Copies of this chain bind each other. A is one copy, B any other.
Amino acid sequence: MKKINLGLLGFGTVGTGVVKIIKENRGIIASRLGAELNLKTIADIDIRTNRGVRISKNVLVKDAHKVVDDPDIDIIIEMIGGKKAARDLILKAIKNGKHVVTANKALIAEQGQALFNAAAKKGVELAFEASVGGCMPIVKSIREALVGNHIQSMTGILNGTCNYILSKITDDGSTFKDALAEAQANGYAEADPTLDVEGIDAAHKLAILSTLAYGMKIDFNKIYVEGITHITPLDIAFAGEFGYRIKLLAISKDRGDAIELRVHPTMIPVDNLLSNVNGSLNALTVSSDRAGDILLYGHGAGMMPTASAAVSDIVDIARNILSGAKGRIPLLSYHKGMVRKVSIMSVNSIQTNYYFRFSALDRPGVLSKISGVLGKHGISIKSVHQKGRRIESSVPIVMLTHLARESDVKKALAKIHKLDVIKGKPTVIRIEGESEADF
Stretch with Cβ within 8 A of B (4 or more), from A180-188, A193-201, A299-307, A394-402: A299-307
A172 to chain B, nearest CB (A): 17
Please indicate the chain B residues that have their CB under 8 angstroms from the CB of A29 in the complex: 147-148
Q: Mark A133-161, 1 if CB is under 8 A from B, else 0.
A: 01111001101111111100000000000
Number of copies: 2
Contact check, A144 vs B328: say whether CB atoms are below 8 A apart: no
Q: In the complex, which of the residues B30, B298, B309 contacts A293, with contact meaning CB atoms closer than 8 Å? A: B298
Q: In the complex, which of the residues B150, B305, B328 contacts A291, with contact meaning CB atoms closer than 8 Å? A: B305
Contact check, B144 vs A312: say whether CB atoms are below 8 A apart: yes
Chain A residue total in the interface (Cβ 8 A): 66
| Complex: A140 Cα to B324 Cα, angstroms | 20
A34-B335, A307-B290, A323-B326 known; A315+B146 contact, CB < 8 A:
no
Q: Closest 9 CB pairs between A and B? A: A148-B311, A325-B325, A137-B145, A135-B291, A294-B298, A31-B338, A295-B297, A323-B325, A323-B328
Question: Which residues of A are interface residues toward B (Cβ below 8 A)?
Answer: 17, 21-22, 25, 28-34, 129, 134-137, 140-141, 143-150, 215, 271, 273, 276, 288-299, 304-305, 307-309, 311-312, 315-316, 319-320, 322-330, 333-335, 338
Q: List 30 A-B contacts (CB under 8 A).
A: A22-B148, A25-B150, A28-B149, A29-B147, A31-B338, A32-B333, A32-B335, A32-B338, A135-B290, A135-B291, A137-B140, A137-B144, A144-B312, A144-B315, A147-B312, A148-B308, A148-B315, A290-B305, A290-B307, A290-B308, A292-B299, A292-B304, A294-B296, A296-B296, A319-B325, A319-B329, A323-B326, A323-B328, A324-B325, A325-B328
